[in-house]
Amino acid sequence: MKKVAILGSGAWGTTLGQVMCDSGQQVLIWGRNKKVVREINRRNSNRKFLKGIDLPPQLKATTDIKAALEFAEVILLAIPAQTLRENLEAWKGFFPENVPIISTLKGIEVATQFRMTEVVQDILAIDKSRLGLITGPNLANEIIARQPAGAVAASENPQIIALMEKLFTTEYFRIYPSDDLIGCEFAGAAKSVIAMAVGMAVGMNYGENTQGLMITRGLSEVARLGGAYGANPLTFLGLAGIGDLVASAQSPLSRNRSFGELLGKTGSIVKAKQQNVKTVEGVPSAGAMLELAHRVGIEVPIIEAVSDVVAGTLTPKGAMNRLMTISIKAEI
Please state the separation of Cα 297 from the chain's center in Å.
25
What is the distance between the alpha carbons of residues 167 and 20, in angstroms, rounded to a whole number?
6
Q: What CA–CA distances, in Å, run from 172 to 20, 22, 147, 329?
A: 12, 10, 6, 42
- Give the DSSP letter of residue 115: B
Is 192:80 a contact under the CB 8 Å cutoff?
A: no
What is the distance between the alpha carbons of residues 139 and 255, in angstroms, rounded to a whole number?
10
What is the distance between the alpha carbons of residues 6 and 192, in angstroms, rounded to a whole number?
23
Strand partners, 50: 46
Give the residue among 68, 9, 64 at the shortest CA–CA distance from 40.
9
DSSP secondary structure of 107-170: -B-TTT--BHHHHHHHHH---GGGEEEEESS--HHHHTTT--EEEEEE-SSHHHHHHHHHHH--
- 127 burial type by CB count under 10 A (0-12 exposed, 13-18 middle, 19+ buried): exposed
Please identify which of the residues 191, 265, 271, 329 carries the catalytic annotation.
Answer: 191
| Residue count (the chain) | 332
What is the distance between the alpha carbons of residues 240 and 124, in angstroms, rounded to a whole number?
26
Active site residue 191: yes
Is 135:187 a contact under the CB 8 Å cutoff?
A: yes
Question: Which residue numbers are catalytic?
Answer: 191
